[in-house]
């Protein structure tokens, strides 16, 4: 969870996404009005004015019973004119037939195009998008509230919920733990949590397919079906990068990782290890994460030594001679 004075795009995605679940102490506005996460960051091409143009909303919600969806673009700052134009020309039927939104009747499907933004940027964004019929969800801070404005949603039930601003806790619930801009050092910390969880669950061997769902979301059922292809590739690449670096350097005593095969094993943090071992592992994770955050080189006490098996990436720690 995170708490900030203004919200990044990833925070805005999570605010909207969390309201589609029945989470204690969080507003259930979209959940109670029948909306669920259809997908995030899913790219698809549509033909506009004789040219194929890529469309990729940050998050799309869908209500199958009402045959209505809400395609959201989250903006922490300003907008992009070409992007706004693409969204304005997109039809509801295209969103279903080309975009893949679930619908029992594509020809009668309806959708709202919504921009989710920080309230401090709302008027500026409205001015930039003044020629288009968009709905706006604006988020304030201290306290955190979500309001609706702009073109009215086609869902009257949803509008009734938004007659007054929706109050939201100061901590954003991370439905999606990573996004397109998530740095590698954060992946290291998330992976550490997942690996400890594997240890507790007696899962000492794992693959990239085991890691990705739990790194991507606090609801592992959302991965991979609800996440766009490019984003899935980015997530799996960063997982492999983080595991590769960790297994070669700071975390070599605790994990093994075969990048080529996308497979790994727990070492010192195997099931039943002492609490002290988990503590030492956490300290090494912090060391690695901090180094990546600062962009520092590999510490001198770690050197890479080729293993007999070229597909395995292992490391021996060689202490500097005194």
Q: Quickly list DSSP for 161-194.
A: HTTSPEEE-SSBP-SB---TT--HHHHHHHHHHH
| Tens-place pLDDT, residues 95-131 | 999 999 999 999 999 999 999 999 999 999 999 999 9
Percent of the chain predicted with pLDDT > 90: 88
Q: Which H/E stretch holds residue 114?
A: strand 110-118
* Confidence category of residue 314, pLDDT binned at 50, 70, 90: very low
pLDDT of residue 142: 84
pLDDT tens by residue, 150-182: 999 999 999 999 999 999 999 999 999 998 889
Three-class secondary structure of residue 98 per DSSP: coil
Where are the domains positioned within the chain? 9-168, 184-294
- pLDDT, tens digit, 9 for 90 and up, residues 29-87: 999 999 999 999 999 999 998 889 999 999 999 999 999 999 999 999 999 999 999 99
Cα separation, 52 vs 195, whole angstroms: 42
- The CATH architecture that domain 184-294 belongs to is Orthogonal Bundle (1.10)
Q: Work out the pLDDT band at 321, boundaries 50, 70, 90.
A: very low
Domains 9-168 and 184-294 belong to one CATH topology:
no
Q: Which is it for strands 110-118 and 135-140: parallel, antiparallel or unpaired?
A: parallel
CA 264 to CA 240: how far, in whole Å?
10
Residue 220 per-residue DSSP state: G
Q: Tell me the per-residue pLDDT of 231-257, one tens digit each, with 9 for 90 and over.
A: 999 999 999 999 999 999 999 999 999
Of 190, 181, 219, 188, which Cα lies nearest the Cα of 12?
181
Question: Do 52 and 93 contact (CB within 8 A), yes or no?
Answer: no
CB atoms inside a 10 Å sphere around CB 319: 6
Residue 172, both tokens? 């954003």
Contact 207, 235 (CB under 8 A): no
Q: Which fold has domain 9-168?
A: Trna Endonuclease; Chain: A, domain 1 (3.40.1350)
């Amino acid at each position: 969870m995170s708490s900030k004075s203004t919200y990044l795009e990833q925070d805005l995605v999570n605010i909207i996404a969390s309201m589609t679940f029945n989470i204690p102490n969080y507003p259930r506005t979209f959940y109670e009005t029948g909306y669920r996460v259809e997908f995030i960051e899913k790219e698809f091409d549509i033909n506009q004015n004789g040219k194929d143009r890529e469309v990729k909303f940050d998050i799309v919600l869908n209500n199958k019973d009402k045959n209505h969806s809400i395609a959201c673009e989250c903006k922490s700052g300003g907008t992009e004119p070409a992007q706004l134009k693409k969204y304005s020309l997109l039809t509801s039927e295209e969103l279903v037939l080309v975009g893949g939104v679930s619908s029992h009747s594509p020809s009668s499907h309806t959708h709202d195009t919504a921009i989710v933004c920080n309230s401090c940027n709302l008027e500026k964004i409205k001015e930039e998008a003044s020629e288009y019929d968009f709905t706006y969800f604006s988020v304030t801070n201290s306290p955190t509230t979500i309001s609706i404005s702009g073109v009215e949603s086609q869902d009257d039930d949803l509008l009734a919920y938004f007659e007054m601003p929706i109050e939201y806790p100061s901590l954003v619930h991370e439905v999606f733990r990573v996004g397109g801009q998530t740095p590698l050092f954060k992946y290291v910390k998330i992976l550490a949590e997942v690996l400890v969880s594997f240890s507790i669950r007696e899962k000492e061997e794992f693959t990239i397919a085991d890691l990705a769902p739990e790194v991507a979301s606090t609801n592992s059922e959302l991965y991979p079906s609800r996440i766009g292809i490019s984003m899935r590739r980015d997530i799996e690449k960063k997982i492999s990068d983080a595991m590769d670096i960790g297994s070669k350097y700071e975390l070599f005593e605790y994990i093994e990782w075969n990048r080529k095969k996308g497979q790994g094993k727990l070492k010192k943090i195997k099931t039943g290890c002492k609490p002290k071992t988990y503590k030492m592992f956490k300290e090494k994770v912090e060391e690695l994460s901090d180094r990546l955050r600062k962009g520092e080189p590999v510490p001198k006490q770690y050197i890479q030594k080729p293993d007999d098996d070229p597909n395995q990436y292992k490391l021996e720690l060689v202490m500097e001679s005194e």
